[in-house]
Amino acid sequence: MKINRHGRYAFSAIHDRADYDWPDGKRLAVYLGMNLEVFSFGEGLGAELAPGGPQPDILNFAWRDYGNRVGAPRMLALFDRLGLPCTALVNSHIYTEAPGLAEAFAARGDEIAGHGRTNAERQGLLSESEERTLIEQSTAVLSARHGRKPKGWLGPWISQSHVTPDLLQETGYEYLLDWCHDDQPIWMTTRSGRILSIPYPQELNDIPQIVGRKREGNEFADMIIDAFDVMLEEAKTRPLVMGIALHGYLMGHPHRIKHLERALTYMKANAGDIVWWTTAGAISDHIRGSVDL
């Protein structure tokens, strides 16, 4: 039987790799991936609180809209209280549909990364020319709004075609977040060079856990704490990346954010001197500037 291969990277067991440090001798890089997303009313994709009815699906659309109106600002205030940076993963339509929200994250110095036009579509279903247009359109909006091109990209719904890494690299992106295949950054081959894959979590991600597996905020917070404890110990041996993927319409509700605060407070209290609170873009910068993978 022939096994198809993607050809983007070779197999490498994590314990066989060269050691290196994060800045200032840190060993565990932790970043928050804060998704800022919008959805098309009466059509397209979207996470569901409950099984959706006929369009327009008011229940689920309004539930998601709560995330931008209430949940994300509440989470922003939490990050401010704890002094934590984040990488904001931004749909480009956020600027017209939720004006001021992405700007509030940028104003506190957070990284703004590309996340497509809207989360009502999957880019991996498009033709190559259509996908290139999606990437270029969303990149142009973020660049104009913030005065510089985004360094990183997360596809809406973690969707990629066979040429997505190629298109991202050719558009000037330095890293992507779609592949949850490692706990360290990995170089991926493209047809015109290479692009860095930064670990982005699908386990420590509130959509798969709360929407998919029906876990609640307390369980999700416990998972974050458990993962942190294990990775903190492992980081003494090898440098690691721990990402936490968040959405305003999930962890931004009052009954969940208290548990997110509990988890993040625990992490800060037990970080010692080896945790680097950072962004995905800063991780990419460090690898590109200081580490030969």
The tens digit of pLDDT for each residue in 50-80 reads 988 899 999 999 999 999 999 999 999 999 9
Q: Which amino acid, 149?
A: K
Contact 77, 101 (CB under 8 A): no
pLDDT at residue 198 is higher than 90:
yes
d(CA 91, CA 79) in angstroms, rounded, equals 20
The pairing of beta strand 186-190 with beta strand 152-153: unpaired
- Average pLDDT in the chain: 97
Are the C-beta atoms of 119 and 65 separated by less than 8 Å? no
List, for residues 69-121, the tens digit of each pLDDT value: 999 999 999 999 999 999 999 999 999 999 999 999 999 999 999 999 999 99
Tokens of 282: 């800063």
Other Cβ atoms within 10 Å of 15 Cβ, number: 8
CATH class of 19-46+86-290: alpha beta
How many other CB atoms sit within 10 Å of the CB of residue 259?
19
Least confident of 49-58, 68-77, 181-190, 208-217: 49-58
pLDDT at residue 293 above 90? Answer: no
Worst-scoring range by mean pLDDT, 20-34, 46-60, 134-148?
A: 46-60
Q: Work out the average pLDDT over 189-212.
A: 97
Q: Determine the pLDDT at residue 127.
A: 98
Task: Calculate what percentage of the chain has a pLDDT beyond 70.
Answer: 100
pLDDT of 133: 98
Q: Which residues contact 263 (CB under 8 A, 6 or more apart)?
A: 220, 221, 222, 224, 225, 228
Residue corresponding to tokens 């000037």 = 172
Q: Which two tokens stand for residue 98?
A: 């939720």
* Residues 6 or more apart in contact with residue 29 via CB below 8 angstroms: 22, 239, 240, 241, 242, 276, 278, 283
Side chain identity, residue 199 = P
In the prediction, which pLDDT does 53 show?
83
pLDDT, tens digit (0-9, with 9 covering 90-100), for 234-291 = 999 999 999 999 999 999 999 999 999 999 999 999 999 999 999 999 999 999 998 9
pLDDT, greater one: 158 or 293: 158
